[in-house]
Amino acid sequence: MDPIDSYKPADRLGGVKEYYFSRKLREIADMRAAGRDIISLGIGSPDLPPSESTIKTLAEEAAKEQMHGYQSYVGMTELRENMANWYHKVYGVSLNPKNEIQPLMGSKEGILHVTLAFVNPGDTVLVPNPGYPTYTSLSKLLGADVAYYDLDEAHGWLPDFEALDKMDLKKVKLMWVNYPHMPTGTPATMDLFEKLVSFAKKHKIILVHDNPYSLILNDKPLSILSVKGAKDCCIEFNSMSKSHNMAGWRVGLLASNPQFVQWIIQVISNINSGMFAPLQLAAAKALDNEPTWHDANNAVYRKRRKIAEDIMTLLGCTFRAEQVGMFLWGRIPDDYKDVEELTEKVLHEAEVFITPGFIFGSNGARYVRISLCCPEDKLTEAKQRIQNIF
């Protein structure tokens, strides 16, 4: 017997699989190593850089001798204050930088910390279907039960509150929501946010709104914290990954009432040792970007979006024109037996990777998602390759 066979992983790993993109990108890397030029329209990792002032600040601060020690768990004052100022400028929401904001090393980390802070093993977490897979996987890793609430195209990818009220909610502790929605691009509205806050208060559920896409191809950025009384039951995540082209920097935030924030800090302080100081100062600088920087960023995405729409049309897919964010979501033709029949054909014949919607939940099983995080010339080449096989 191989000695390694005597070791077993923790039982919690039985409830989750390796992240789809982790596996698929490894396959694509193997294809590239074999000489195949794969164009990836999969992950939403911005290919454009942050603003020049952001990069300059990081370089200047990192060159200082005293900037390399451990940092506080709650983040630097400059960063928290600029996060609060940014929330007021973009969303009209007032936050106390001392106790209503917590910087995060990315929103994915925040999902872990919030779940640890509020959810006991055996509690139930409400997760959208389709939705970000990490809401499910981290809930399961931490011993929570996952109950899905349906989103579908017939209802505009919005929650059905009558159906939600009929669910068994006795053990529900946390509910994940995400508008602008990933993967469908459905924009947020104040009416939706008001209904969500009302639902959460009615059932004494903590509502966590994940809000990283509101500045991408979206003329009306909204925060759920704009709703009166939302801080009483809501936590909002935001991220600089998409809006400021800083995905690899791992800078995000959560905002809520002081008690919720303090409970989350209790978790963070036992896991992390603070964010690199020059990175925090550079992030604070990025939050001062001029509106023209974001306008230029969106102008690039707008051109790419048109090509992505052309690709969807070539694939025979239908899509909703009002989508926002950095993806395009479309329904595949009925004559495919499943979505992978289409995506694998495109990958192996056109050498273009597009994301099958089933990874976001069963309600995404007849859909594909195209990322706009690809240079215009590569998107155009992908379009031509796809045109050649159809």
CATH of the domain at 143: 3.40.640.10
Q: Is residue 370 part of a domain?
A: yes
Are 103 and 210 found together in one domain?
yes
Q: What is the dihedral of CA 10, 15, 18, 21, to 10 degrees?
A: -150
Model's pTM, two decimal places?
A: 0.93
Strand, helix or coil for residue 177: strand
Are 10 and 104 found together in one domain?
no
Are 188 and 168 found together in one domain?
yes
Cβ atoms within 10 A of the Cβ of 305, count? 23
331 phi and psi angles, rounded to 5 deg = -90, 135
pLDDT tens digits for range 134-173: 999 999 999 999 999 999 999 999 999 999 999 999 999 9
Instruction: Give the C-alpha separation, 252 to 68, whole Å.
Output: 20
| Spans in the chain with pLDDT lower than 70 | 1-3, 17-19
Last residue of a domain, one of 286, 315, 333: 286
Are 345 and 258 found together in one domain?
no
What's the structural domain count of the chain? 2
Instruction: Give the C-alpha separation, 388 to 222, whole Å.
Output: 41
Q: Is 295 exposed, middle or buried (0-12, 13-18, 19+ CB in 10 A)?
A: exposed
pLDDT of residue 284: 97
pLDDT tens digits for range 214-266: 999 999 999 999 999 999 999 999 999 999 999 999 999 999 999 999 999 99
Query: Which token pair is 134?
Result: 């990490």
DSSP state of 91: H
Instruction: Give the C-alpha separation, 219 to 231, whole Å.
Output: 24
Instruction: Give the C-alpha separation, 39 to 32, whole Å.
Output: 10
Are 116 and 198 found together in one domain?
yes
Are 278 and 299 found together in one domain?
no
Are 280 and 311 found together in one domain?
no
Last residue of a domain, one of 286, 309, 338: 286
Last residue of a domain, one of 268, 286, 304: 286
Are 179 and 266 found together in one domain?
yes
Are 192 and 215 found together in one domain?
yes
pLDDT of residue 75: 92
Domain coverage including residue 217: 69-286
